[in-house]
Amino acid sequence: MSTTPQAAPRRATITDVAREAGTGKTSISRYLNGEMSVLSPELRARIEAAIARLDYQPNQMARGLKRGRNRLIGMLLADLTNPYTVEVLQGVEAACHALGLMPLICHAANEVEMERRYLQLLTTYRVEGVIVNALGVREETLRPVGGGGIPAVLVDRSVDGLVTDMVGLDNRAAAELGTRHLLDNGFDEIWFVVQPFEQVSSRQLREAAFREAMSAQGEQRGKSAARGHTLVLNLADADEVARSLAELDRAIDAAAQASDAAAATGNAARIALFAANAPVALCLALHLKARYGADWQARVALLSIDDPDWAELTGVTTIRQPTYEIGYRAVEFLHERIEGVQTIARDCLLPGELIVRASTLR
Amino acid sequence: MSTTPQAAPRRATITDVAREAGTGKTSISRYLNGEMSVLSPELRARIEAAIARLDYQPNQMARGLKRGRNRLIGMLLADLTNPYTVEVLQGVEAACHALGLMPLICHAANEVEMERRYLQLLTTYRVEGVIVNALGVREETLRPVGGGGIPAVLVDRSVDGLVTDMVGLDNRAAAELGTRHLLDNGFDEIWFVVQPFEQVSSRQLREAAFREAMSAQGEQRGKSAARGHTLVLNLADADEVARSLAELDRAIDAAAQASDAAAATGNAARIALFAANAPVALCLALHLKARYGADWQARVALLSIDDPDWAELTGVTTIRQPTYEIGYRAVEFLHERIEGVQTIARDCLLPGELIVRASTLR
DNA sequence: CTGTTAGCGCCTTCAA
DNA sequence: TTGAAGGCGCTAACAG
């Protein structure tokens, strides 16, 4: 049955409790702050009873105003659409809970302007610190943070000119690990596919490490060196995506022809795609499936940084990031800063884990 | 180069601005609240300048304390692991932004105790309302909310005894839509697979609607009626999952045998799985893939409520929920309540959309 | 051990 | 048009 939800009656305040318990506000405050040693058992009992009777709950805002700290931290997210973000968020949540912090979540939805506005808003709520999964771009936007402003820790990527703690994947090692895996499995042609990376440090590092690993391959391999390419996939622009995918298609077709030709000599060319993160991998997989059918993996191998749930289902090899831990550590770092720790800015690089699946094995 | 991030200097207060502008706090306050008509252009200019010089930002907490409203709302999430939750969250985020609200996100991670604690915590921050994607369970936990407490709106599921607005999928229609689709495509045996549903209204409704649709099938079909089964999959307990899946396996094998036998008569039995939500569907898909290999869809059809990103990739038919809108509407409802709207508790049931893919077609 | 007092940063009468 | 004073709910000296 539906009845009318009613407006909440005014909540009890510390004054109410004091009156109810027949004492002063100070004693109530002491009780709330656990200073039991300075409260007679008798008074204490009265207070307890009064609190229970009034269902009293101290007002965090008022406490915060007085103490100058409200246990609020901001969490600025670039893109909730990315499973990476959600996983990090879980770590953040857990750590906050453990440390008695309360996260204010803001989703910039890939818009720089939003990022700026939210940062300002957070500042207005006097959060004690912020964890920022920045859009990248320039320091400009993040002015209120780090350095002279609120303590901050960056997640996944660093921002030029911003001196703060940062925690994320060891991108160099991860990209190298993936490239090596592909090389070791005899692929002749490897395409590293990544979103525009001028602005985003983690993408830059991954791409650079990929190229280096390709250059360094020579020694290990008996046969001729595998070719490496970098393809930029701008997921924000459907036309650009289409163009990039077309380029990829041509390469795949060419490899297939070469492969057919070489098949006679038992030396078929093999092509692999190395996706810089899950959104890219998903885009690639969807395209390949549309183009080559359910059996697309027989034609192209796919390896991805990030380990979305569909990877296991489709047998795609991945490099899993310790996302939960990244979020957790970020909060720990921030907490230390809030407590006044004064070390130099720290970088915490966590290793990725290669999860080999059918896709990259033959 | 790493230097030491420094502690933030104290932020300017309204008093600082007043002094800097050579006026009283009252005028500053008026300026902040847009009461421009009562400020001489001259004073106004001075204030503007002072604010800029001091980089002043009003303290929301203090304003909140005074006004009795802080524009904060709580968002209680049962399970961030479920893509549904994240999608709803995006709608919530967007609506909050549009309405000038700030969401405090809390993740109960499927633990009732957490749900209780967070609700209490939110109350302590004096949020003006809460949006609850409840774990289900009983009203007990949600006491501080609805009725006499903070305005609340429920998402996805309602809770017995709690009188509040609620917004979610039209479960009955969705389950019926799915069942009909399966029936229309000639499946002889349909298993509805769902997590324990005694406590969760949405699951209950889906299951009930499935059974009803199965009962009501007779008239439409020329051939003998398809059989319907309900299988409970308790994802929280690995052993139970194993048992349930084993039961399913037996059914699938039996159907296969019958199918072989009937093949001669050109009348093979066909079996379909109807997953009540994405987590269930994922569990099923992973299991089937492990058991029957990449080609598992040739043996069993899968239909799922929820449309995770891997559905398109694997060709699984789904019923997509308008998740973003659900989140958005929830905030709108809540906002109305906060503004004092006093109607009876409303239910907003949004329709799901059937997305037919290869899985359920032959 | 306990209560009184003075603010935290802001808004809101009420006078000027 | 402007400002002074009081108070939101709480904490932190400072007395008693």
pLDDT tens for B265-311 read 544 568 999 999 999 999 999 999 999 998 899 899 999 999 999 99
Residues of chain A below pLDDT 70:
1-9, 137, 147-148, 218-223, 259-269
Q: Which residues of A touch B146 (CB under 8 A)?
A: 5
pLDDT at A336: 95
Nearest by CB: A123 against B57, B81, B147 = B57
Residue of B nearest to A123 (CA): B57
Is the sign of the CA dihedral B240, B244, B246, B247 positive or negative? positive
C-beta separation of A290 from A320 below 8 A: no
What 3-state class would DSSP assign to A247? helix
Determine the distance in angstroms separating the CA of A49 from the nearest CA of chain B, rounded to an integer: 19
Other CB atoms within 10 Å distance of the CB of residue A163: 19
In 3D space, the residue among B168, B184, B193 whose CA is nearest the CA of residue B303 turns out to be B193
Fill in the amino acid letter for A97: H
Tokens (6 digits) for B180 = 């009909």
Protein residue with the closest CA to the C1' atom of nucleotide D13? A26
A110 touches strand C (CB under 7 A): no
Residue B9 resides in a domain: no
Nearest by CB: B123 against A57, A103, A152 = A57
pLDDT at A259: 65
Running DSSP on this structure, what letter comes out for residue B290? H
Q: Which residues of B touch A148 (CB under 8 A)?
A: 6, 8-9
From A23, A58, A93, the end of a domain falls on A58
Q: Tell me which residues from 133 to 162 on chain A have a beta carbon below 7 angstroms from nucleic acid strand C.
A: none
Q: What are phi and psi of A261, to 5 degrees?
A: -65, -40
pLDDT at A319: 98
In 3D space, the residue among B137, B169, B132 whose CA is nearest the CA of residue B153 turns out to be B132
pLDDT digits (tens, 9 = 90+) for B207-266: 999 999 999 986 655 567 899 999 999 999 999 999 999 999 999 998 878 766 655 554
Protein-covered nucleotides of chain D (CB closer than 7 Å) are 1-13
In 3D space, the residue among B171, B64, B300, B18 whose CA is nearest the CA of residue A126 turns out to be B64
Residue B4 resides in a domain: no
C-beta separation of B108 from B118 below 8 A: yes
What 3-state class would DSSP assign to A4? coil
Does the distance separating the beta carbons of B344 and A2 come in below 8 Å? yes
Q: What is the CATH number of the domain that holds B31?
A: 1.10.260.40
Report how far residue B215's alpha carbon sits from residue B75's, in angstroms, rounded to the nearest whole number.
39
Question: Any idea which nucleotide's C1' is nearest the CA of B41?
Answer: D1
pLDDT at B222: 55
Tokens (6 digits) for A44 = 């204490």
Report how far residue B139's alpha carbon sits from residue A95's, in angstroms, rounded to the nearest whole number.
28
Same structural domain, A200 and A311: yes
Same structural domain, A89 and A220: no
- Interface residue of B1, B2, B110, B347 to substitute, partner A, most A CBs within 10 Å: B2
Tokens (6 digits) for B356 = 């037919």
pLDDT mean across residues, chain B: 90
Other CB atoms within 10 Å distance of the CB of residue B187: 25
Query: Å from B152 (CA) to D9 (C1')?
Result: 24
Q: Which of residues 221-260 of B touch A (CB under 8 A)?
A: none
Confidence band of B1 (pLDDT split at 50, 70, 90): very low
Mean pLDDT (whole number) for B15-21: 94
C-beta separation of B12 from B56 below 8 A: yes
**Cα B305 to Cα A315, B196, B360, distances in angstroms:** 23, 16, 14
B25 touches strand C (CB under 7 A): yes
Same structural domain, A299 and A284: yes
**Cα A259 to Cα A264, A271, A273, B71, distances in angstroms:** 9, 10, 17, 63
Confidence band of B135 (pLDDT split at 50, 70, 90): confident
Same structural domain, B37 and B179: no
Other CB atoms within 10 Å distance of the CB of residue A15: 11
Query: Å from A54 (CA) to D3 (C1')?
Result: 39
Residue B99 resides in a domain: yes
Residue B3 resides in a domain: no
A350 touches strand C (CB under 7 A): no
Same structural domain, A316 and A221: yes
How far does Cα A62 stand from its chain's mean position? 33
Does the distance separating the beta carbons of B309 and A314 come in below 8 Å? no
Protein residue with the closest CA to the C1' atom of nucleotide D5? B26
C-beta separation of B313 from A297 below 8 A: no
Q: A266 or B36: whose pLDDT is higher?
A: B36
Q: Tell me which residues from 42 to 81 on chain B have a beta carbon below 7 angstroms from nucleic acid strand D.
A: 42-44, 62, 65-66, 68
Sheet with A317-320: list strands edge to edge: A227-232, A189-194, A271-275, A301-305, A317-320, A353-355
Determine the distance in angstroms separating the CA of A313 from the nearest CA of chain B, rounded to an integer: 6
Residue A88 resides in a domain: yes
Residue B333 resides in a domain: yes
Same structural domain, B82 and B217: no
Query: Å from A66 (CA) to C7 (C1')?
Result: 9
B301-305 vs B271-275, strand pairing mode? parallel
Distance separating the N- and C-terminal Cα atoms of chain B: 62
- Interface residue of B124, B286, B328 to substitute, partner A, most A CBs within 10 Å: B124
Same structural domain, A303 and A342: no
C-beta separation of B57 from A123 below 8 A: yes
A66 touches strand D (CB under 7 A): yes
pLDDT at A83: 94
pLDDT digits (tens, 9 = 90+) for A40-78: 999 999 999 999 999 999 999 999 999 989 999 999 999
Does the distance separating the beta carbons of A310 and B313 come in below 8 Å? yes
Nearest by CB: A313 against B114, B146, B289 = B289
Report how far residue B324's alpha carbon sits from residue B330's, in angstroms, rounded to the nearest whole number.
10
Report how far residue B231's alpha carbon sits from residue B234's, in angstroms, rounded to the nearest whole number.
10
Report how far residue B254's alpha carbon sits from residue B299's, in angstroms, rounded to the nearest whole number.
12
Nearest by CB: B344 against A3, A103, A312 = A3
- Asked if B100 reaches chain A (Cβ–Cβ under 8 Å), the answer is no
Q: Which domain holds residue A139?
A: 70-169+324-350
pLDDT at A335: 96
Q: What is the CATH number of the domain that holds A155?
A: 3.40.50.2300
Same structural domain, A183 and A253: yes
Buried-exposed string A67-99: b where 16+ CB fall within 10 A, e elsewhere: eeebbbbbbbbbbbbbbbbbbbbbbbbbbbbeb
Tokens (6 digits) for A223 = 């046969």
Q: Which of residues 105-144 of A touch B (CB under 8 A)?
A: 105-107, 109, 114, 120-121, 123-126
Residue of A nearest to B106 (CA): A93
Q: Which residues of B touch A314 (CB under 8 A)?
A: 310, 313-314
Those residues whose C-beta lies under 8 Å from the C-beta of residue A239, and which sit 6 or more positions away, are none
Report how far residue B325's alpha carbon sits from residue B302's, in angstroms, rounded to the nearest whole number.
26
Residue of B nearest to A90 (CA): B80
pLDDT digits (tens, 9 = 90+) for B176-192: 999 999 999 999 999 99
Residue of A nearest to B284 (CA): A313
CA angle A316, A317, A318 (to 5 degrees): 115
C-beta separation of A302 from A285 below 8 A: yes
- pLDDT-above-90 percentage for chain B: 74
Residue B151 resides in a domain: yes
Same structural domain, A141 and A222: no
pLDDT at B270: 87
Concatenate the DSSP letters of all residues of A255-288 into one string: HHHHHHHHHTTT----EEEEESSHHHHHHHHHHH
Query: Å from B191 (CA) to D6 (C1')?
Result: 69
Does the distance separating the beta carbons of B94 and A102 come in below 8 Å? no
Same structural domain, B235 and B128: no
> Which residue has 């059989």 as its token pair?
B227
**Cα A48 to Cα A25, A32, A44, A131, B119, distances in angstroms:** 14, 10, 6, 38, 21
pLDDT digits (tens, 9 = 90+) for B97-123: 999 999 998 899 998 888 988 898 899
Residue B115 resides in a domain: yes
> Which residue has 């524009």 as its token pair?
B71
Number of domains in chain A: 3
Q: Is the pLDDT of residue B19 over 80?
A: yes
Same structural domain, A37 and A82: no
Other CB atoms within 10 Å distance of the CB of residue B13: 16
Same structural domain, A214 and A334: no
Q: Which residues of A touch B62 (CB under 8 A)?
A: 65
What 3-state class would DSSP assign to B8? coil
Report how far residue A312's alpha carbon sits from residue A307's, in angstroms, rounded to the nearest whole number.
8
R_g (Cα) of chain B, nearest Å: 27
Full-model pTM = 0.92
> Which residue has 């006499």 as its token pair?
B148
